[in-house]
Structures are given as structure tokens and as C-alpha cells.
Structure 1
């Protein structure tokens, strides 16, 4: 399957993350008019020199050289106009347009050079013909040096130039120019092939590198996701989706340790399901698990701050850690949670069963900071009192002596 130059660019570059930048850099170089200015000025100087050598003896030759000069002037103006159009137009997402425009402009250049040089070969004195051949070789060399950026258009440009110069030389009976031109283009073709192959290897290496980097980035992302999932699994209770005991301990230590640096009160609500063992024995463990899941959703609904945490402490025991929450505010939250759980029906064998919870609250104030284990012991003591005083209620420990805490 054959590909045009833009197709080759698409195959080799568009799959590369840096493709658009590479194509833009190449087109920036390829549209520059200065190589055409130099070649055009050389052809014009050669034509003027030919007229100067010929004097008034070759009127028709002078006309041919004038045509050659005119073609070069028009060609230079054309390349400058194309370059200004490239600079002044929006490049974004128009790679195909610009590559095809360069393709056309390269063929126009090949025709212009070939026509002008052919006119000089036919009309110029012998001493100018070799200068003309030199200029043709320089143009071919310039095209060869840039062929790795645009293989097809510059190869066709060179072929047009060579075919026109060689054909004109042969038709004119000059069998020295033709073999020299053929030998030179054969040498340049090998050099051009090496340059093109080198650039394509470079593109392929860049593509492979980007592909490997993309694979590495994806592997790193996958590893990060796996680590994050593992971290969450290590800190999450499998049944309820709440934080587990380990996460609870870490969070409580974060906000209640002496060196936590917080200047806000921290409240801890400790609660469990009333008569959960009897519920399990009566309705089965599956119903018990469903009961714990419903309570976990109720507990999660009480959180209003990203610093707050709902955790399953163990079995049917749960906890809420509420940084920045005073005892009175914690009581309101606990009462709202208790009422929500009371109203929440648990479907068991086609029936709706209701359960209750008992809650204990302890708060550590800024001026009376206690250790996490002490705060937990006070909350546990408050829960114990709620159980003793009839269940389905909230009890608060606002201050407790060490003796009280140890007795609990």
C-alpha cells in the first residue's frame, strides 16, 4: 500500500504524543524562503553573466535569459507569499492543509528551477553552462539536506529539476552535463536515503519511548490506585463500609493527642444496639447484618464535616468522632441519630422490625485536654450509664475522675 507524504507523517508521527509539535517545527523550517532566495539570486546572476558574455550577438538567447530571470523573480515572490501566509494564518489543527500546501509549493519550485536552468543551458555560452550545472547541483544538495523532513515532495522536486536539466542538455547535444547530472543525483539519492532512514528511526525511537513512558505512567497510576484501594480496605469495615477499629484509633489520636495542636473541643459518641444478641438469636445473623448496615447509614448521615468520622468499633458497637463539636452540640447529634434509628424499619421475613440504640458522649475541651484512651473510657462510661438507665437514651460525661473512669 502506497502512502503520500502527509499519510507517512500521520503513520509515523500522529500516534506520537509530540507529533503536532514535531510537524510544526518541520513546517517552520520548510516554509522558510531564504533557500529559494539564494538559489533564485544565483540563477539571476548566472543569466546576467550569460548576457554579459554574449553581448549583442545573441538576441534570442538574451530573451531566453530574460524569461529565466522573470521566472525566478515570480518564483521568489511566490515563496515569500506562501511563507507570509503560513506565518499569518492559524496553524491549529490544520496539519494536513499545510503539508499539502508545501507539497504543491515544492513542485512549483522544481518546475521553476528546472525551467530557468533549462533556458540557461540552451542559451548560455559554454563557460556559463558549467556554472548552471553547479547551481543545479547546489539546489539538489539543499533539497537533499532537508529531504528527511519531507521525503516525497522534495524527492519529486529534485526529480523534476533533474529530468528537465538532463533532457534539455541531451536535446541540446551536450552529453557532458547529462552524465554529470545523473551521477550527482545518484550519489545524492543514496545520501538522501540515509538521511530519511535516520529520521524515520529517530521518529520510531521517539514513538517507542513515548509508548513506554505512557505504559510506565499507566502502571504507576494502576499501582497508586491499587495502593489506595488497599489502604482503604485496611481502614474500612467490610460489612458496613464505615471506618474500622484501626482507622478509629488513628483518627482519635490525630485530634485528641496532647501534641495534636488543635484549639477546638472534640466530642466522641459511643453507641451500640440495644439487645442485639437477642435480635440475632430471634431473626438470624443475616437480619443482624442488615441491622448493622442500616445503623451505619444512619451514622454516616450525621456527618457534616470532612474531619468527622463514623466507625464500627466492633460487633454492634459504633462511634462518631466529632472534632470542633461541643458537648451540647454532640448531644443534639446523638439525639437525632437515636430518633433516626428508632424510625428506621428493618425488613425481616416480610415484616418491619424496629430497634433502638443507647449512646454515650464524652468531650475533651481545650482547657482540659485528655488523652484519647481517657476520652474513650469516658464515652464508654456514658454508654454504660445509658444502658443502666433504661436503654434507648443518651448520656453525657462532661467531667469524670480517674476513679470513675477506671471503675467503668
Structure 2
């Protein structure tokens, strides 16, 4: 049942490729020009019967062709002004209009054929062949309606010929119909191959675009992981080195400060409470730093072990010391009671340094901050020391 449904959709012009292709085909199929040409041809074929006094059949044909053209004009206008973009709906509308056109053409030619002169019959057959050939040339876009049109034309002319005793003409029409079927099968096969190739190409391009997008996302995620400390969630040493070099290269005239901090007595803390609680402690310090720096342009990183670093572009020595003191107080106030077997509190020592001249290198600035940190530890820890300043901010 599903295969029959799929075949039916293909026969009326659906499921042959991309939706854009279907809409282009429908625009061609709804076009009125071929029907105007067919109406002119049938009108010329009716001229001789009208001159011969067959006014009844000619009037009937004129009404049929006027009805057929009216339907096609209405269909083209409605298609161009459509607001409903349902591909299936408009394909079915075309199929109905197409069969109606075929029926009008078939009845018109049969009416003119009956009782006509040999010359007029020859003209009518020529017009019918032209209409059939035009339908066959467009049949690859909507096979079923066009085949119905051809069958209607051939069968009605064959019946008209048989009614007048011209059985050979009926046989010729049958052979011609079979020839058209062979032609249509070949034409449709070629076009289907082209449409399927286009569809496969577009599908392959879409799959390639999706794969590239996923690869880009994976690379970005990998890059983030490569620059992020897995334990604390802030930047790692590699990210710190890159950020410090970038800060030095961006503006050599603006102030630039660096803070190094070290958790006090962390080895003893680990030995007393275990490495799992030690990891929790590091996470807590990382979250405190991230919270204090939230919304700023400063860069925080885990420098190594229990040591953290902060790069402060645009901050002078006073601002660096003030931020370090704020962080020291925040860490000292952080509660560890919710951590299993944790100590009641922790503290950290800070060393701050500021670039004082343009020829100072990143390594020089790190060394100065490290010396300040060492002085803070020497003086009892849980305090801030500033490079080049003898005073140490105590707890």
C-alpha cells in the first residue's frame, strides 16, 4: 500500500527531488501559453468545418475551448497569487485542470472529426498529434495527467474514426499511443535520473555542511577543554600563559598587574582530610575567584597545584592590592562545613606585581609577583604583599 501511494505521488509530479524543483515545474505547468497555442490550432482546424456549414459542432467546440482557457487562466492567476504553499495541494489542482483540458481537447477534436471532409479530418489529426506531442514533451514533470490527456485524445479520435467505419485509423491511433508511451518512458527515465542526481548532490552537500558544523563545534569544545582546568572549571596554565602574552602585546603603555595566590598549608590540609576534600577545597577557591571577578575583564587561572593567578589589564598596583585583599577576605569567609571532614575555614596568601616599564617581560612580572607571594608567606600567611612595597597588608 505504501509503494502504491509513493508511485501515485510520483505519477502526479511529487517526490522527484527537492521542493524548489517541484515549484519550478509547477510554474511551467500552470503557464497558459501552450493552451493558447492549442486553442488557436483547434480554432484553425474548425475553420473549414465552419465554412462547410457545420456550425453546430463548431459552436460546441468554441464553448469547450472557451471553458478550457478560462479554467487555465484562473489556475495560472491563482497559482501566482497563492498564499497556501502546500506543494501537494497545488500539484493536485494542476492534475485536475490538466485532465479537464485533455477532456475538452478530446471532445473538440472528436466533434470536428465526425462528419468532416477528408481534408478537414487530416487537419484535425495533425492538430491532435501536435497537442499530443506538446503534452508528451511536458509529461516528465507530471506523468499521470499528461498520459491521461494523451489517452483521452487518442481514444476519442479512435472512437470517432470507428463510428465512421475507419477501423484502420483506430489501429493507427493505438500504435501511435504505444509509441508515445515508449517515448515518455525514456524521457521520464532521463529526467528522473537528472532530478535524483541533483537531489543526491544537494543531500551530500547538506550532509557535508552538517559534518563540518559538528566538527567545528567539536573543535571549539576541544579547544575550550584544552584551555580549561578540569577540576576548578576556570582557565588552566596554558590559557594563563597565552592571556599574559596577549596582555603584554596589546598595549605596552597601559598598566598591567598580576596576582599570584597560594592556599595556605594545603599539603597539611590534604594529609589531614584526604585528597577528595582537597579537591573540593580547590573547587571552592576557584568558584570564589570566579564570583569575585564576574563581569570584569580580568583573567583568572589555576597556575598549578594549589596556586592561582589573576591577570589584571588596566589595573595599577593600588587596584591590584585592593582586589587581592577582597579575594583574601572572600576566601577566608568561605564555608567548608558542607564538605565531608573539612576544616572550618581556609586562607590564602597573595603576591601582587605591576608592570612598571615597557621592557618588562611576562616572565619578569611573574617572578616579581612570586617574590611578593613568598614575602607574604614569610610574614605569616593569610595576607597580601605587593612587589616593591615593604608594607604587607595583614589579615
What's the TM-score, normalizing by structure 1? 0.88
Q: Which of 376, 382, 388 is residue 372 of structure 2 equivalent to?
A: 382
User: Residue in 2 aligned with 1:98?
Assistant: 90
* Aligned-pair CA distance for 1:5: 7.3
Secondary structure of the structure 2 residue equivalent to 1:390: coil
Tell me: CA distance 1:106–1:5, structure 2 relative to 1, closer, same or farther (3 Å).
Answer: farther
Per mean C-alpha deviation after superposition, the further-off stretch among 64-73 and 38-47 is 64-73
Tell me: CA distance 1:123–1:336, structure 2 relative to 1, closer, same or farther (3 Å).
Answer: farther
* Aligned-pair CA distance for 1:305: 5.0
Tell me: CA distance 1:11–1:20, structure 2 relative to 1, closer, same or farther (3 Å).
Answer: closer
Counterpart CA distance in 2 for 1:153 and 1:263 is 79
Counterpart CA distance in 2 for 1:160 and 1:306 is 80
Q: Which of 76, 85, 89 is residue 83 of structure 1 equivalent to?
A: 76
Per mean C-alpha deviation after superposition, the further-off stretch among 268-277 and 217-226 is 217-226
Tell me: CA distance 1:39–1:306, structure 2 relative to 1, closer, same or farther (3 Å).
Answer: farther
User: Residue in 1 aligned with 2:65?
Assistant: 72
Tell me: CA distance 1:105–1:306, structure 2 relative to 1, closer, same or farther (3 Å).
Answer: farther
Query: CA contact under 8 A between 2:14 and 2:91: conserved in structure 1?
Result: no
User: Residue in 1 aligned with 2:42?
Assistant: 43
User: Residue in 2 aligned with 1:2?
Assistant: 4
User: Residue in 2 aligned with 1:33?
Assistant: 32
Query: CA contact under 8 A between 1:5 and 1:150: conserved in structure 2?
Result: no
Q: Which of 162, 166, 187 is residue 179 of structure 2 equivalent to?
A: 187
Counterpart CA distance in 2 for 1:355 and 1:290 is 12
1:231 maps onto 2:194 in alignment: no
Tell me: CA distance 1:137–1:339, structure 2 relative to 1, closer, same or farther (3 Å).
Answer: same
Query: CA contact under 8 A between 1:6 and 1:100: conserved in structure 2?
Result: no
Counterpart CA distance in 2 for 1:382 and 1:350 is 32
1:272 maps onto 2:262 in alignment: yes
**Structure 1 residues 148-180: Cα deviation after superposition (integer angstroms, max 9, x where no partner):** 111111111221222212112112222343223
Counterpart CA distance in 2 for 1:311 and 1:242 is 6
* Aligned-pair CA distance for 1:6: 7.1
Counterpart CA distance in 2 for 1:49 and 1:341 is 107
Secondary structure of the structure 1 residue equivalent to 2:231: coil
Per mean C-alpha deviation after superposition, the further-off stretch among 298-307 and 36-45 is 298-307
What's the RMSD between the two structures over aligned residues?
A: 2.2
TM alignment of 1:43-62, pairs within 5 A: 43-52=42-51, 54=52, 58=53, 61-62=54-55
TM alignment of 1:361-380, pairs within 5 A: 361-364=352-355, 368=358, 370-380=360-370
Tell me: CA distance 1:137–1:263, structure 2 relative to 1, closer, same or farther (3 Å).
Answer: farther
Structure 1 gaps, min length 5: 14-18, 401-408
Tell me: CA distance 1:7–1:279, structure 2 relative to 1, closer, same or farther (3 Å).
Answer: same
* Aligned-pair CA distance for 1:350: 4.8
Counterpart CA distance in 1 for 2:188 and 2:31 is 20
Query: CA contact under 8 A between 1:5 and 1:153: conserved in structure 2?
Result: no
Secondary structure of the structure 2 residue equivalent to 1:89: coil
Query: CA contact under 8 A between 2:273 and 2:342: conserved in structure 1?
Result: no
Tell me: CA distance 1:22–1:360, structure 2 relative to 1, closer, same or farther (3 Å).
Answer: same
User: Residue in 1 aligned with 2:323?
Assistant: 333
What's the TM-score, normalizing by structure 2? 0.91
* Aligned-pair CA distance for 1:362: 1.1
Q: Which of 340, 351, 354 is residue 345 of structure 2 equivalent to?
A: 354
Aligned length: 385
Query: CA contact under 8 A between 1:4 and 1:152: conserved in structure 2?
Result: no
Structure 2 gaps, min length 5: 391-395
Query: CA contact under 8 A between 1:300 and 1:310: conserved in structure 2?
Result: yes
User: Residue in 1 aligned with 2:393?
Assistant: none
1:155 maps onto 2:147 in alignment: yes
Per mean C-alpha deviation after superposition, the further-off stretch among 230-239 and 75-84 is 230-239
Per mean C-alpha deviation after superposition, the further-off stretch among 300-309 and 233-242 is 300-309
